Structure 1
Amino acid sequence: MGLPSYHAMAAMAVTVVMFIAFARGRMSVEIVSLLTIAVIAVGLYFFPLEGSGPTDGLALAFAGFGHYALITICALMIMGRGLVVTGALEPAARLMERLFKINLQLGLLVSLLIAFTLSMFVNNTPVLVLLMPIFVALAARGAMPASKTLIPLNAASLLGGVATTIGTSTNILVVSIAVDLGMPEMDVFHFTPIVLIAAAVALPYVWLVMPRMLGDNRVVKTGHMRRFDARLRVNENSILNGRELHEVQARLPDGIEFHDVPLGLIRPQQRLRMSGTHEAIEEAARILRGDAAPSWVLDRIKRRSIETSADIVVVEMTVTADSRLIGRTLPSSGIADLYGVAVIGTHRPERLVGPKDEYSSGGDVRITEGDVLLAMGLPEDLQKFAQSDSLLILEGMRELPRRSRAVVAAAIMGGAVLFASLGFVPIAISALAGAILMFLTGCVKFDRVGRALSAQVIVLVAASIAVGRIILDSGAADWLGQALALGLQYLTPAAVLAAIMLFVTLLTNFASNAAAATIATPIAFSIAHTLGLPPEPLVLAVLFGCNLCYATPIAYQTNMLIMAEGSYEFGDYVRTGVPLVLLMVATLSLALVVTYGL
């Protein structure tokens, strides 16, 4: 066996240097990715591959930006954004939140088992796309941070995908190549018992150890959250109607407080004074089915939103010394009549709170300079209100979920997942169709696409595709396979299986699992005949190795899909993924030896 070609050596060197740069973390992922693409492009321009020209090298280096895998990931991000902005996942998030409130570890375990089971029969990419926004929402509600749950959730879905021949497209590819080489076809659950044994060992690590190895990457807000005073209007449909407040108190969010609660049963048209953060007030109003502002102005805002296709937003504004609102109460201010804006809460800074606040005869607090109003309406109306009444906008506008389109967004996502999982169309096509429908139905606005996409993920995917192509086209992968075959003849069957699995795992974590399957399956088949071993366990070692893509973010599209949401760094994947890879290789190799009597 001779030395690899210069192109193959250069390809391996670029891969190793890129890995080291990612692992050290001194430069951002985007810079390392773009430098990798630049090195490949410039190198192949001046030193083209055999049989190709300089421009072919440029096409190879930049092909990742138009690759179907990148387009698929972007489409999935857009669909995930549609689920979030419409509030389609709120019911599922609330259900999971109850489970996490009972016990965080129990909630995580149930979630991992759901991801594992679903991925046995459905491609794990749509499974993760469905679950990821729920866990991001749960983190915002005070459950475990997304950075501690998304990598374990991704690992559980990848474990489930290994268990059946239809779990991933790579499994189907390996099985089809093996059939072409003369092996009998495997049924859906042919190797499921072997994977279940390994999963029984790996899932406790994923459940109990992985989250402890990951940091809390949430952005911590400094200072105290503002607490607003609000008046909850009880209407006919409210669950408070005909009941006492203490009967529903346990269902309310943390931090919500009621003041001057009337004795006896609560009746429609009553106004209950409550205080809490913006999120707590909004959640309490939803649970109690009451209104934090007059119902007529809320109906007017919703109607205008539908007519103009504008989003309803909430913004915090402070009252300046020139405002006409000073000395007035909210009912006497005429804000709703003049601007079509609803003020759902007021906050008075502690420095302005005197021994006795000024109240009107109706019990409403008079507005003073420095008060903060929590106002809801359309952006144009809120801007007009702020300019006309001398208010200073303190916080950027926060869009309220477009709940009227929640069912549509859920149906689009469900349809995309169903068509892809049943094999009617590839996941790339169903994801693109779903993203287009999200735009056409207004679930995602064209001018908000940038919020759904991550530049870091885009350049990382493009760089990983370029590296995978150069490793394959330069002959580096073939040379590594030949070197592996020469050394295996001196090992025991168990060590042969482990070595093949480790080789394929290394390949799939830096190239692509499809490339690893294409290269390694014939090599494993040839090694089996050379060493006098049955080919099936060696082919299964390839299949399993192709799916052990936990150690780098570039190994699989779902790894990159969670990177932005979890605020992960390259080292997070290495630190948590390498032990899982070693655990799975050892367990699966042992299970294959026992199952096939090697």
Structure 2
Amino acid sequence: MPDLQSIMVLVVVVAAMILFITEKLRVDLIALCVLLALIILGLVGHNQALYGFANQATATIVAMFVLSAGLDRAGLVEWLARRLDRLAGKTEPRLIIVICIAIAFLSAFMINTAAVAVFIPITIVLAKSRKISASRVLMPLSFASQFGGVCTLIGTSTNILVNSIAVDKGMDAFTFFEFAPLGLAMTVVGIIYLISARGLLPKRKAGEQQVDRYHLADYLAELQVTKKSSLIGTTWIKSKLKQNEKVNLIKFIRNDKATTKPPKTKMREGDILLLHGNMDTLIAMQDKYKLRLHAKAKMDDKKISSDEIKLIEVLIPPQSKLVDHTLQTFEFFRRFGCIVFAVQRRGKIIRDRVAEINLKDGDTLLLEAGKDVVSRLLKSRDLIVTNELTELYVRKDKAIVALFVFLTVITLTVLHIIPILVAALIGAIGMVLGRCLTLEEAYEAIDWKIIFLLGGILPLGLAMEQSGAALWMTNTILSPFLNLGPVVVLAVLYIITAILTESMSNSAAAIILAPIGLSVATTMNVDPRPFLVAITFAASTSFATPIGYQTNTMVYSPGGYRFTDYTRVGAPLNLIFWGLAVLLIPLLWPF
């Protein structure tokens, strides 16, 4: 039986995992709650409370965000993406191969969410020009960014994190390209799988001969009944709208209050219908039933069909300031000069009014915008415009500086001249001093959610080890496998990490399982390095759900995917990588 301190740590671990999986709170808030619980319960000392924030992994990841932003701002990533048109040929397999190789290469050296953000609109355009569904290439784009991320020490935050844990325990640091042999093997096998198993990739309407501009079927729009509407005097149940249109009534609002019996309430002028359905249908209904978009901000009553107004589809990326804000609190109209026609969240029906929806990364907004504000949207770091492309703009003088700074960081790290933390900090400061980005842009480039996640959750790993909870979990969960040898234990650790990563933060999964990996190695009297590598790779490659990895979430809406699409395509790939890891890790990192 574990002692009282171990039991308290285990309770905190279980509570944290439940919160991460259910997504009741933001991951960074969960991490801070975990930290507070550890301090109050006396599971970490006051001198250890800031261990996560002072950890070299956290500082290195901060620097890598800035370094990646410098490359992005200089236009180098977009320049490379635009060159793919000539290489991609005309066939779907070749397009997938070229995109996968390009994004895997970039993701090995920069934060993959930044690379994927640039590639999403370009990939959609490349697919559309070849009359290929975007859903056939966006999922491979996300998966390949993860292939590349496991090829180098800086490819993902998890790699940097586990390396820091190893160094803290007195182990030798992982070298810059130490993960490369296994990472490259997974990249090659992964691309071969995506090509040979193309039949599993979904084919949505976006790639048919007649391209559906708004290929997402589950938008939420807020339409108001006008005095000329044919719906006045009828109920929802008896209306032609209910009978003829494939839309669902989510809320019926009158005088700013939801009615108690929406389907049976007779409609009046000014009533607001919160409708959920296909966007083309929702747009057509405005003229057909004399409804109008309900929004506090209007644009001189110009019709959507006007040449002066465009419908722009935008995606909210993970680092957007819109995340966890409503359109009202963010003052969306004042900032961008356009109104939100509808909001879409894959896999969930939103029941709040459009202006009151608490926005999440991965949400898609359909904007009614004047031509003069499109350029402002394209330049925004808070939105990714998925159905428009900005003009390619490479700041040549800054591109040379950014490339020089980047290559300097790689050289200093690979040749072991200075530690990776120092090299990354030199790179981040070099990007700012070289004016590749301003200091304000550098701050904006940092995903503070990940930083606070690490700051709050890293002490949990410390508490697990200090209290003996990690050793108890090893003896309890893995005891049936300990006598079967280290390879079997490695296989079990990998699959446990992979399953956890599909449902919670990959960094959190790695932090919770790394102490167990170290404890297993001590118990079996073997080198812990292979176990840490297994945990790193399993936590950095998540394919079976759209929530297991940020890039999966980013392509979820633009690809029009369903949750099960990821399971069908990604689960077999997870199993293939599992087998590959179990086969190659003991050869590359002997016990």
In the superposition, relative to structure 1, how do residues 467 and 203 fare at CA in structure 2: closer, same or farther (>3 Å)? Answer: farther
Contact 2:60 2:420 in 1 (8 A): yes
Q: 1:427 aligns with which of 408, 416, 420?
A: 420
2:139 matches 1:148: yes
* Per-residue deviation, residues 257-283 of structure 1 (Å, max 9, x unmatched): xxxxxxxxxxxxxxxxxxxxxxxxxxx
Structure 1 distance, partners of 2:459, 2:165, is: 23
AA of the residue aligned to 1:135: F
- CA offset at residue 450 of structure 1? 5.0
Q: 1:15 is matched by which residue type in structure 2? A: V
Change (3 A) 1:159 1:23: same
Q: Secondary structure at the match of 1:548?
A: helix
Residues in 2 aligned to 1:514 and 1:442: alpha-carbon distance in whole angstroms: 36
Cα pair distance change 1:565/1:506, threshold 3 Å? closer
Is 1:584 matched with 2:577? Answer: yes
Secondary structure at the counterpart of residue 48 of structure 1: coil
1:408 Cα offset (Å) = 1.8
- Rounded to whole Å, the distance in 1 between the matches of 2:565 and 2:457 is 15
Structure 2 counterparts to residues 174-253 of structure 1, below 5 A: 202-205=190-193, 208=197, 212=201
Q: Which residue of 1 aligns with 2:455?
A: 462
Preserved contact between residue 500 and residue 541 of structure 1 (Cα < 8 Å): yes
Give the counterpart of 1:138 among 122, 134, 140.
122
**1:264-413 map, 5 Å:** 394-395=372-373, 398=376, 401=393, 403=395, 404-413=397-406
The equivalent residue for 1:544 is 534
Match of 1:34 among 29, 33, 37: 29
Separation in 2, partners of 1:581, 1:515: 20
Structure 2 residue 38 is the aligned partner of structure 1 residue 44: yes
1:78 matched to 2:75? The reply is no
**Quick one: which of 520, 523, 531 aligns to 2:520?**
523
Q: Does the 8 Å CA contact 1:194/1:591 hold for their aligned counterparts?
A: yes
Q: Where in structure 2 are there 5+ consecutive unaligned residues?
A: 128-133, 207-212, 217-298, 310-369, 380-390
Corresponding residue of 2:293: none
> Residues 212-250 of structure 1, C-alpha deviation per residue, up to 9 Å, x if partnerless?
489999x9699xxxxxxxxxxxxxxxxxxxxxxxxxxxx
Q: Is the 8 A contact 1:115 1:156 kept in 2?
A: no
Q: Deviations over 1:182-207 (max 9, x none)?
A: xxxx9999999888777665554466
Kindly indicate whether residue 157 of structure 2 is the aligned counterpart of residue 157 of structure 1. Answer: no
2:90 aligns to what?
Answer: 102
2:481 match:
488
Q: Name the CA distance, whole Å, in 2 between partners of 1:150 and 1:471.
A: 37
Q: Is the 8 A contact 1:80 1:129 kept in 2?
A: no
CA separation in 1, counterparts of 2:413 and 2:587?
A: 36
Decide which structure has the larger Cα Rg and report it. 1
Q: Contact conserved, 1:64 with 1:463, CA < 8 A, in 2?
A: yes
Contact 1:456/1:564 (8 A) holds in 2: no
- Is the counterpart of residue 17 in structure 1 residue 7 in structure 2? no
The 3-state SS of whatever aligns with 2:42 is: coil
Structure 1 unaligned regions, length at least 5: 223-317, 320-347, 353-391, 530-534
Secondary structure of the residue that 2:373 maps to in structure 1? coil
1:7–1:159 CA distance, 2 compared to 1 (3 A): same
Does the CA contact (< 8 Å) of 1:93 and 1:135 recur in 2?
yes
Of 432, 453, 472, which aligns to 1:479?
472
* Deviation of 1:443 (Å): 1.6
TM superposition shift of 1:422? 3.2
**2: CA distance, partners of 1:436 / 1:567:** 34
Maintained 8 Å contact 1:501/1:542: no
- Residue 52 of structure 2 aligns to which amino acid in structure 1? G
Give the SS at the match of 2:540.
coil
Query: Is 144-153 or 541-550 further displaced after alignment?
Result: 144-153
Alpha-carbon shift at residue 152 of structure 1 (Å): 1.0
- 3-state secondary structure, aligned to 2:76: coil
How far has the Cα of 1:444 moved from its partner?
A: 0.9
- Between the aligned partners of 2:530 and 2:442, the Cα distance in structure 1 is 41
* CA positional deviation for 1:477: 1.8
C-alpha distance 67-198 of structure 1, shift in aligned 2 (>3 A): closer
Cα offset, 1:73, TM superposition: 2.7
Give the conservation status (yes or no) of the 8 Å contact 2:176–2:414.
no
Q: Which residue of 1 aligns with 2:244?
A: none
Specify whether residues 467 and 551 from structure 1 end up closer, same or farther in structure 2 by C-alpha distance, changes over 3 A only. farther
Give the Cα separation in 2 of the matches to 1:433 and 1:188.
16
CA change 1:71–1:193 in 2 (3 A) is: closer
Native 8 Å contact 1:82 1:409 kept in 2: yes
Note if contact 1:115-1:160 (Cα within 8 Å) is conserved in structure 2: no
Q: Could you say which residue in structure 1 is the equivalent of 2:81?
A: 93
Find the residue that maps to 1:395 and give its secondary structure: helix
TM-superposed deviation, 1:90: 3.8
State the secondary structure of the residue aligned to 1:443.
coil
The structure-2 alpha-carbon separation of the partners of 1:98 and 1:545, relative to structure 1 and needing over 3 Å to count, comes to same
Contact kept? 2:64, 2:424, Cα under 8 Å: yes
CA-based RMSD: 5.7
Amino acid across the alignment from 1:89:
V
Q: Distance in 1 between matches of 2:483 and 2:152?
A: 33
Preserved CA contact (<8 Å) 1:419 1:430: yes
Identify if the C-alpha distance between structure 1 residues 72 and 595 changes in structure 2 by more than 3 Å, giving closer, same or farther: closer
> 1:550, 1:486 → 2: CA distance?
26
Q: Greater shift after overlay, 496-505 or 464-473?
A: 496-505
Mapped contact 1:78–1:453 kept (Cα < 8 A)? yes
Q: Secondary structure at 1:549's aligned position in 2?
A: helix
Helix, strand or coil for the counterpart of 2:2? coil
Alignment length, in residue pairs? 400
Matched letter for residue 416 of structure 1: V
1:154-207 superposed Cα distances (whole Å, 9 cap, x missing partner): 331255459xxxx967998999999989xxxx9999999888777665554466
Instruction: For residue 579 of structure 1, report the CA deviation from its aligned partner.
Output: 5.5
Q: Which amino acid aligns with 1:524?
A: A
Q: Check conservation: 1:113, 1:156, Cα contact below 8 A.
A: no
Q: CA deviation at 1:482?
A: 2.9
1:8/1:474 contact within 8 Å kept = yes
Deviations 1:123-175 (A, max 9, x none): x454858955652563475555896355312331255459xxxx967998999
Q: State the distance in 1 between where 2:584 and 2:412 align.
A: 34
Deviations 1:506-543 (A, max 9, x none): 7995657588667635733753x7xxxxx68x964553
